[in-house]
């Protein structure tokens, strides 16, 4: 069941994996009303019992006096859990901050696991799954209606097809409404517990980003805040579990203007790389193909035209190919330096974390980008300022093969690391007795990730083979080999663009967006990264 599997999974990950003395929950804790307190109790001062202790008991946590009555006549475990988590986030004294740091340490190190577990739990919940499907249908209906109104397609048959698709989506949404109404009239314990578990995970992950990592992921924090509001509203509407304002984690209170400016710089840098890197690669590969075609076509007009254009394109690309990596590389090194060495500007809780813990937490997010950008920066500088003849010289072509080999190795390594994490998480969830449907959804997510990584490995393998065809030894055998290699590289650029959009659309099924607009843009280049 959702309560035992998710809460016990948190306990397993945080206590066993790192052999810490802190466990998040002891086994067999439940969200069920039968385990709630039988009389109304109150909260006031800081709760003296740590929920990170191995003997955590909700009964002990709520035996503290307070000025505010719990929203239920008898506080449920979900209220006790959330208040205990908030209590750590609100730590102020030196002793409390150290206790909060001990509590957040395993969670910071496992933020990847929290994020993926929340995505799987959200996709597994029948109510959330139907609401996400309904929102996607509404967005598609709006897009189709705009196409018809703006006369995007003048063919009457296509317009009729779009209207038929709108009608189909509207009927599908009506069916979803009936299913949601049935769920309200016939509530199930599993769905109720799944919503409560999702609320706990969203709260934990939001606080990990804000308090334990001080990271300017305002888009992520906003997404998690909207999710928390959605979960609380659904629990109130479907199961009459209400929450007062003390349970609100108001996003605006934690978003100063300066930090908003910082996160805009971060997201703009990330999106610049994601949006323009395919363009840079397409231009570079097209230029290489046009040069290789010269000796094959043996056309003086073509050769002179390409030589004239290349006199401008070559130096421009020479500078672009190393300057392009500087912004993201500086950003990532700056983030690592800020979180590891710049104690003065860190949040109080993060400041209490060990330096190695802070480094590991952020390195797991950034290692792929750093290890990808740094070699390409050095390669670009070498070709631009040291190598005579540039990228098209024999040495430059050999360097290209070497760099493509590093890309292939890095992609394979990343695939292994990510898939090992997923399989480890599935093994842990099976160990704590998760439902078959939850394991099935996680297995589907793993299958998608395997498919995505398999394509990436295939993509870089083809690029490596295409660059190998351009080597002088291959050109000596036949002038057609460099042309074939150049054509393959250009075609793979187009395929990568199409596949990226295709995989991005499918990924939304496993990482659904919450309702409502986000105040900051969503970063694309770290999609799927921990």
With helix as H, strand as E and coil as C, how does 257-320 read?
Answer: HHHHHHHHHHHHHHHHHHHHHHHHHHHHHHHHHHHHHHHHHCCHHHHHHHHHHHHHHHHHHHHH
Alpha helices in 342-479 (DSSP H): 348-352, 355-381, 394-431, 436-469, 472-477
pLDDT of residue 66: 34
Rounded to whole angstroms, how far apart are CA atoms 219 and 516? 12
393, pLDDT greater than 60? yes
3-class SS of residue 1: coil
| Neighbouring-strand partners of residue 42 | 69
Summarize pLDDT for 96-138 with one digit per residue, the tens. Answer: 999 889 888 888 998 898 899 999 999 999 999 999 889 888 9
Specify whether the backbone of 76 is left (phi greater than 0), alpha (psi in -120 to 50) or beta.
beta
pLDDT band, very low/low/confident/very high, at 415 (cuts 50, 70, 90):
very high
Q: Quote the radius of gyration of the chain (alpha carbons, Å).
A: 27
pLDDT of residue 25: 57
Rounded to whole angstroms, how far apart are CA atoms 228 and 231? 5
Neighbours of 81 (CB within 10 A): 25
Residue entry with tokens 């950008």: 373
Residue entry with tokens 């003065």: 344
Contact 118, 201 (CB under 8 A): yes
| Neighbouring-strand partners of residue 68 | 43
140, pLDDT greater than 60? yes
Rounded to whole angstroms, how far apart are CA atoms 75 and 77? 7
3-class SS of residue 65: coil
Q: Which of 137, 124, 127 is nearest to 173 (CA)?
A: 137
pLDDT of residue 511: 84
Contacts of 504 (CB under 8 A, 6+ apart): 524, 527
Contact 133, 141 (CB under 8 A): no
Contact 279, 288 (CB under 8 A): no
Rounded to whole angstroms, how far apart are CA atoms 429 and 304? 65
State the DSSP string of 326-365: HHHHHHHHHHHHHHHH-GGGS-HHHHHS-HHHHHHHHHHH
pLDDT of residue 524: 40
Summarize pLDDT for 342-368 with one digit per residue, the tens. Answer: 888 888 999 999 999 999 999 998 999
Specify whether the backbone of 29 is left (phi greater than 0), alpha (psi in -120 to 50) or beta.
beta
pLDDT band, very low/low/confident/very high, at 383 (cuts 50, 70, 90):
very high
Identify the helix (H) or strand (E) that includes residue 42. strand 42-43
pLDDT band, very low/low/confident/very high, at 217 (cuts 50, 70, 90):
low
The beta strand positions in 63-103, using DSSP E, are 68-69
Positive or negative, the CA dihedral 22, 28, 33, 36 is negative
Residue entry with tokens 């993201």: 328
The DSSP output letter for 512 is P
pLDDT of residue 266: 74
State the DSSP string of 37-93: -SS--EE-S--SS-TTSTT--HHHHT-S--SEE-SSSS--HHHHHHHHHHHHHT--S
pLDDT band, very low/low/confident/very high, at 84 (cuts 50, 70, 90):
confident
What does each C-alpha distance from 158 to 38, 138, 151, 313 come to in angstroms? 63, 20, 11, 42
Rounded to whole angstroms, how far apart are CA atoms 49 and 366? 36
| Across 480-498, average pLDDT | 95
Contact 232, 127 (CB under 8 A): no
């Amino acid at each position: 069941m959702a309560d035992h599997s998710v809460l016990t999974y948190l306990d397993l990950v945080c206590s066993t994996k790192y052999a810490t003395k802190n466990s998040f929950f002891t086994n067999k804790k439940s969200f069920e009303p039968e385990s709630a307190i039988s009389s109304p109790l109150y909260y006031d001062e800081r709760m003296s019992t740590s929920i990170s202790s191995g003997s955590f008991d909700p009964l002990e946590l709520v035996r503290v006096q307070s000025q505010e009555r719990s929203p239920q006549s008898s506080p449920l475990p979900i209220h006790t859990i959330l208040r205990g988590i908030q209590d750590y986030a609100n730590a102020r004294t030196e002793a409390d901050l150290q206790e909060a740091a001990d509590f957040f340490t395993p969670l910071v190190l496992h933020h990847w696991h929290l994020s993926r577990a929340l995505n799987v739990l959200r996709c597994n919940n029948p109510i959330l799954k139907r609401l996400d499907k309904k929102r996607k249908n509404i967005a598609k209906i709006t897009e189709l209606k705009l196409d018809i109104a703006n006369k995007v397609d003048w063919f009457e048959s296509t317009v009729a097809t779009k209207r038929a698709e709108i009608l189909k989506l509207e009927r599908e949404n009506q069916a979803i409404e009936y299913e949601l109404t049935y769920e309200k009239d016939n509530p199930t314990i599993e769905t109720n517990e799944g919503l409560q578990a999702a609320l706990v995970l969203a709260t934990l992950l939001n606080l990990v980003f804000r308090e334990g990592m001080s990271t300017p992921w305002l888009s992520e924090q906003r997404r998690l805040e909207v999710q928390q509001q959605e979960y609380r509203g659904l629990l109130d509407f479907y199961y009459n579990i209400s929450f007062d304002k003390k349970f609100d984690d108001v996003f605006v209170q934690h978003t100063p203007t300066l930090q908003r400016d910082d996160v805009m710089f971060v997201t703009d840098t990330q999106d610049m790389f994601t949006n323009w890197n395919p363009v840079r690669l397409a231009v570079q590969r097209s230029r290489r193909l046009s040069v290789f075609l010269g000796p094959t076509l043996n056309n003086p007009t073509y050769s002179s035209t390409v030589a004239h254009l290349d006199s401008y394109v070559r130096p421009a690309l020479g500078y672009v190919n190393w300057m392009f990596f500087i912004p993201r590389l500086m950003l990532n090194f700056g983030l690592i330096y800020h979180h590891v060495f710049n104690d003065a500007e860190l949040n109080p809780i993060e400041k209490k974390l060990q330096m190695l813990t802070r480094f590991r937490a952020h390195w797991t997010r950034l290692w792929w980008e750093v290890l990808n950008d740094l070699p390409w920066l050095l390669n670009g500088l070498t070709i631009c300022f040291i190598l005579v003849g540039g990228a098209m010289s024999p040495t430059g072509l050999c360097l290209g093969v070497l760099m493509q080999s590093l890309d292939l190795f890095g992609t394979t390594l990343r695939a292994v690391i990510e898939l090992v994490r997923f399989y480890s998480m599935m093994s842990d969830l099976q160990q704590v007795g998760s439902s078959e449907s939850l394991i099935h959804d996680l297995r589907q997510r793993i299958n998608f990730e395997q498919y995505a990584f398999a394509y990436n490995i295939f993509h870089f393998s083809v690029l490596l083979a295409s660059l190998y065809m351009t080597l002088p030894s291959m050109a000596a055998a036949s002038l057609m080999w460099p042309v074939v290699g150049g054509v393959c590289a250009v075609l793979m650029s187009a395929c990568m663009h199409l596949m990226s959009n295709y995989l991005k659309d499918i990924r939304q099924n496993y990482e659904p967006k919450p309702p409502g607009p986000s105040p900051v843009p969503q970063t694309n280049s770290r999609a799927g990264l921990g």
